[in-house]
Homo-oligomer: A and B are copies of this chain.
Amino acid sequence: MRPHDIAEVRHLPLFRDMLKVSFEQLVQGAYAQTFPAGMELIRQGDPADFLHVVLEGSVELYANWENRLCTMAVVNPIGTFILAACIKDAPYLMSARTLERSRLLLVPASDLRAVFRRDPEFAVSTITELAGCYRAVVRHAKCLKLRNSRERIAAYLLKQSRNLGGIARFTLSVEKRLIASYLGMTPENLSRAIRTLDEVGVQVKGQQVTIIDMARLQAFVPPDPLIDGPDTGGATAGVSLPQGVAS
């Protein structure tokens, strides 16, 4: 594991406040590995062995049931996933695969559980992280239940814009089919719905999104911090979907 990685991981909210010895213990048992694109990292139902930290690349969390499949989240650097499963020592609720060539840090779940029992600061960080993850999923569920597909798309685009500092022109960071699945609709439906969004001031050409009339778009889907998340002010560049998402 490269020193640079160690430093970055150490700065994560989850790890930044813990004791030096605790962190070193975690790092010692952990190992970094690079995976090719499309690699299945974990499969839902498997026992939780490792906390995963995305150092480079991006990872899709998805779920399936009876031949159906849906995207639950995308994790970008530097983000973690499946914290909850590790803590509960329970089977993963979601599967994960790399969207591109990615480098991950794998921290043994047993180390994790051992450390937060000894290091109160790490326990507090874990609590905060989990609470954040929980709230992210609640917001996602609210979005699914309270908005129709057109509104979900509009809100998604608005959020992407806000994450980039409120700019009116940007590029979608993931494939549309994945966005469709994340937002709970078919690719065809997404495509059609996007087309109708020009009525509310949005133009999409390929991956290029242009918000023609920000006011009209915001009038169409009033952004709600209790659904769309707090305004980040563009500080968290590169985050395309909810950050902290465990299992």
Interface residues of A (CB under 8 A from B): 44-45, 63-66, 68-70, 72, 83-85, 87-88, 90-91, 93-94, 116-118, 120, 123-124, 126-128, 130-135, 137-142, 144-147, 184, 222, 224-227, 246-247
B128 engages A87 (CB within 8 Å):
yes
By the criterion CB–CB under 8 Å, are B137 and A138 in contact? yes
User: Given A68-B146, A141-B137, A147-B65, does the pair A91, B226 have CB atoms closer than 8 Å?
Assistant: yes
Interface centre among A116, A117, A146 (most CB of B within 10 A): A146
Report how far A44 CA is from B135 CA in the complex, Å.
13
**Contact A144:B146 (CB < 8 A) given known A87-B127, A127-B126, A226-B93:** no
* 17 other A-B residue contacts (CB within 8 Å) besides A85-B135, A116-B124: A45-B226, A65-B146, A65-B227, A70-B145, A84-B135, A87-B128, A87-B131, A93-B138, A93-B139, A116-B123, A123-B124, A130-B130, A130-B134, A134-B246, A137-B137, A141-B141, A144-B144
Complex interface: chain B residues within 8 A of A64 (CB): 146
Cα A123 to Cα B130 in complex, Å, equals: 12
